[in-house]
Amino acid sequence: MIQLDKVNKWYGEYHALVDVTETIDKGEVVVICGPSGSGKSTLIRTLNRLEPIQSGSIVIDGQDIYGGDVKLNEFRSHIGFVFQQFNLFPHLNVLENCSLAPTRLRGLKPAEARERSMALLERVGLAQKAQAYPSELSGGQQQRVAIARALAMEPPLMLFDEPTSALDPEMVGEVLLVMRDLASDGMTMICVTHEMGFAREVADRVLFMDAGKVLERAAPGDFFNRPQTARAQKFLTDIRTPFSSTLS
Amino acid sequence: MLELIQDYWLYFLVGQYPNGPLGGLVLTLLLAALGLLFSLPLGLVFGMARISPYRWLRWPVTALVFLVRGTPLLMVIFWAYFFLPAITGQKTDQITTMLVALVVFDGVYLAEIVRAGILGLPKGQQECARSLGLSYVETMRFIILPQALRNMLPSLVNQFISTIKETSLGYIIGLTEVSFIASQINVQVLTKSTQVYFILGLTYFILCFGLSRFAFWLEKALYRNRIVKAAS
């Protein structure tokens, strides 16, 4: 479904993505992990062109997305993107957040969009909050609405950019449950996340990135039990036992 | 002073109307309101052009903004007064001249208010709208501007206050707004300059102070609204 070929990106002098080559199949759930600044978020943002790349190519469903003939808005409407900061629209209520794009871009009648949104809100367990405004919701609830909003466009591919990193610890679980539910439905998902429990249980494959390169690609069991590179070994040690490293 | 008010209040309020052109305080308020009303769309367009990704759009508007902001309103009024008839070929009346000057001047200031209103929103709002597939124009119309305009309301009221005071410069081209009328009254009465200009000053003060309190209240109300929503 997605082919990345020798993708390179620079921020000025800084080489953010280095020759990233990767193939992701339909229905796969891929977790990208790695230390901060390793290029995980940059990589996932290039997949719907929120960040331009300088060389290489990304092909999604047979379409070179940096090719000249891409209809950008149409292309983006087929990819769901969930942000770390939720980014719900604060001036619209939950239902309007979900039904705005389907009404505008898919030509749904208000009643149809409403019905579709309500079904999705039901699925993420927030149907009773349809009339609430984002500021009335907890972080976990906001992120679940954001997922429902992305799903309302019925995208075949969902991208998650650290969806639980801005949440209080007690709210992480409710968001991960929704994501697991989505994965078991066969959705193609790419998630940048630090939730190793989620990666272990839900992911088909883990990509480990450092300094703009994909250092390891493996099934979660292999990655967590037998990391190949020293960098990945250190990373896993650090997140498991936070006090093991010495301060220098 | 009461005698003064008794004799001239109507003249002060509306000028020679209905036996002559509308003037006085009503003209002042009308001009300020129309000025703001017409400059709002201009400010919206200019403000969005100022942050446009297109250089050919951004640069000329930015240049115009700096040019007008670096010029006193009096200059703009002179330009409108002498320049407009030169390009249209016919004499423009004072009200139109003043209105054109106010719209250009306010449009540029509103552009900066609009720009700040848009840039003040979290970047994620725009990114998120675009990631859903909404176009730039749709994003502006449904997501960015509704939020930005709401946040701009207090600034808009403040701009209205400035505009009310700015209309007094119409005096220079013989516009019969309230300052001009006051000076006419002063000439007719001759002996009560202090009182006449005291009343004029008081009128401006009451209007502007009242409005600035309103802007303050509006700001509080918008802020409170956010807090209440967040707490409930």
**Residue B90: predicted pLDDT:** 82
Q: For chain A, what is the mean pLDDT?
A: 93
For the cut 70, the answer to whether the pLDDT of residue A113 exceeds it is yes
Cβ distance A90 to B147 less than 8 Å, yes or no, reads: yes
For the cut 80, the answer to whether the pLDDT of residue B13 exceeds it is yes
**Residue A23: predicted pLDDT:** 94
Q: For residue range B109-122, what is the model confidence (pLDDT) as tens digits?
A: 999 999 999 999 99
Lowest mean pLDDT among A50-64, A95-109, B4-18: B4-18
Q: For residue range B157-213, what is the model confidence (pLDDT) as tens digits?
A: 999 999 999 999 999 998 999 999 999 999 998 888 999 999 999 999 999 999 999
Work out the pLDDT band at B226, boundaries 50, 70, 90: low
- Return d(Cα A243, Cα A86) in angstroms, integer: 31
In chain A, what residues touch B146 (CB-CB under 8 Å)? 91
Work out the pLDDT band at B3, boundaries 50, 70, 90: confident
**Residue B231: predicted pLDDT:** 54
For the cut 90, the answer to whether the pLDDT of residue A90 exceeds it is yes
Q: For residue range A186-229, what is the model confidence (pLDDT) as tens digits?
A: 999 999 998 999 999 999 999 999 999 999 999 999 999 999 99
Chain A residue whose CA is closest to B232: A136
DSSP structural state of residue B22: B
Work out the pLDDT band at A248, boundaries 50, 70, 90: low
B111 in Cβ contact with B137 (< 8 Å):
no
**Residue B21: predicted pLDDT:** 86
**Closest approach of A245 to chain B, Cα-based (Å):** 35
In sequence order, which residues have a C-beta less than 8 Å from that of residue B19 and are 6 or more positions away? none
**Residue B228: predicted pLDDT:** 58
DSSP secondary structure string for all residues of A186-235? T-EEEEE---HHHHHHH-SEEEEEETTEEEEEE-HHHHHHS--SHHHHHH
Cβ distance A73 to B232 less than 8 Å, yes or no, reads: no
> How many domains does chain B fold into?
1
The CATH number linked to B182 is 1.10.3720.10
B31 in Cβ contact with B106 (< 8 Å):
no
B122–chain A Cβ distance below 8 A for any pair: yes
Nearest to A133 among B128, B132, B229 (CB): B229
For the cut 60, the answer to whether the pLDDT of residue B229 exceeds it is no
Report the complex ipTM.
0.91
Residue B218 sits in which domain range?
2-231
From residue A46, how far is each of A2, A198, B112 by CA, in Å? 12, 23, 32
Please give the average per-residue pLDDT across B7-33, as a whole number.
89
- Return d(Cα A100, Cα A19) in angstroms, integer: 38
Instruction: Name the percent of chain B lying above pLDDT 70.
Output: 97
Chain A residue whose CA is closest to B131: A76
Please give the average per-residue pLDDT across A14-28, as a whole number.
94
**Residue B230: predicted pLDDT:** 54
**Best mutation target, A46, A50, A70, A73, to test chain B (most B CBs within 10 A):** A73
**Best mutation target, B118, B121, B125, B131, to test chain A (most A CBs within 10 A):** B131
- Return d(Cα A229, Cα A246) in angstroms, integer: 21
Nearest to A83 among B128, B146, B150 (CB): B128
Cβ distance A50 to B150 less than 8 Å, yes or no, reads: no
Instruction: Name the percent of chain B lying above pLDDT 90.
Output: 70
Instruction: Name the percent of chain A lying above pLDDT 70.
Output: 98
For the cut 90, the answer to whether the pLDDT of residue A98 exceeds it is yes
Q: What SS3 state is found at A100?
A: helix
Cβ distance A133 to B133 less than 8 Å, yes or no, reads: no
Closest by Cα among B150, B167, B1 to B94: B167
**Residue A245: predicted pLDDT:** 65
Cβ distance B124 to A85 less than 8 Å, yes or no, reads: yes
In chain A, what residues touch B143 (CB-CB under 8 Å)? 89
In chain A, what residues touch B147 (CB-CB under 8 Å)? 89-91
**Residue B213: predicted pLDDT:** 94
CA A212, A218, A223, A227 dihedral sign is negative
In chain B, what residues touch A149 (CB-CB under 8 Å)? 132
Work out the pLDDT band at A51, boundaries 50, 70, 90: very high
- Return d(Cα B45, Cα B152) in angstroms, integer: 15
Cβ distance A73 to B134 less than 8 Å, yes or no, reads: yes
For the cut 80, the answer to whether the pLDDT of residue A70 exceeds it is yes
**Residue A147: predicted pLDDT:** 96
